Amino acid sequence: MKKKILIGCGTIVLVLIIVFISFIIWFDNMISDNLSKKEIVELVNDNYLIILDDINENDFTDTNNIDGVKEVYHDSDVIDVYCGGRGIGSATSYYGFYYSPDDLPKDAWCGSSFGRTFDELKPEGKGFAIKYSNDDNCYYTERIRDNFYYYEAHF
């Protein structure tokens, strides 16, 4: 009898764990609004001329109207196109792409440019990354095409 009760309790605990994990995954998907890396690369390639025209005119109305673009930030060093994020609080990620006038990778994301030099970005995979030694924050960027780079920042 005790064996059946233990098996029943174990089954209930397992079901509750599965339900909890499913809820976490569902909740994360509900609050996430980012495009994937593949979708961002396609967005840049499919809308290349529109984005270049907006850059040349310094008017980002058409770029802001592209499906998947959340916000456009621009300054003299970079034009950053934010394509969404995911997570909560200190476990947040940001995704997008930027236009680099000098065609060098930058550490720009969501309107922030930290002024780091190209030398501080270390080669990683097909791109460049900065990993901070004191925490789990990291930044990755990869060239899409001339002057355009994909980015993701994790905090």
Task: Indicate whether 56 pLDDT > 60.
Answer: yes
| 93 and 17, same domain (yes or no) | no
d(CA 153, CA 28): 17
- pLDDT of 60 higher than 80: yes
For 81-121, write each residue's pLDDT tens digit: 999 998 887 788 999 999 999 999 988 766 565 555 556 78
**In this structure, are 77 and 98 located in the same domain?**
yes
Same domain (yes/no): 8, 42 = no
11-22 residue pLDDT tens: 665 555 555 454
Shared domain for 57 and 122, answered yes or no, is yes
pLDDT surpassing 70 at residue 50:
yes
* pLDDT at site 26: 41
Same domain, 109 and 50: yes
Residue 48 and residue 66 in one domain: yes
Do 1 and 52 lie in one domain? The reply is no
Q: Are 119 and 146 within one domain?
A: yes
The reported pLDDT for the residue numbered 138 is 87
Counted domains in the chain: 2
Same domain as 142, residue 120:
yes
Same domain, 85 and 12: no
Domain that holds residue 79: 34-154
pTM: predicted TM-score of the whole model, two decimal places: 0.77
Is the domain of 17 the same as that of 50?
no
Check whether residue 46 and residue 70 sit in a common domain. yes
Mean pLDDT within 40-66 = 97
Q: Residue 38 pLDDT > 80, yes or no?
A: yes
Q: Output the pLDDT for position 119.
A: 62
The pLDDT assigned to 29 comes to: 45
* Position 51 pLDDT exceeds 70: yes
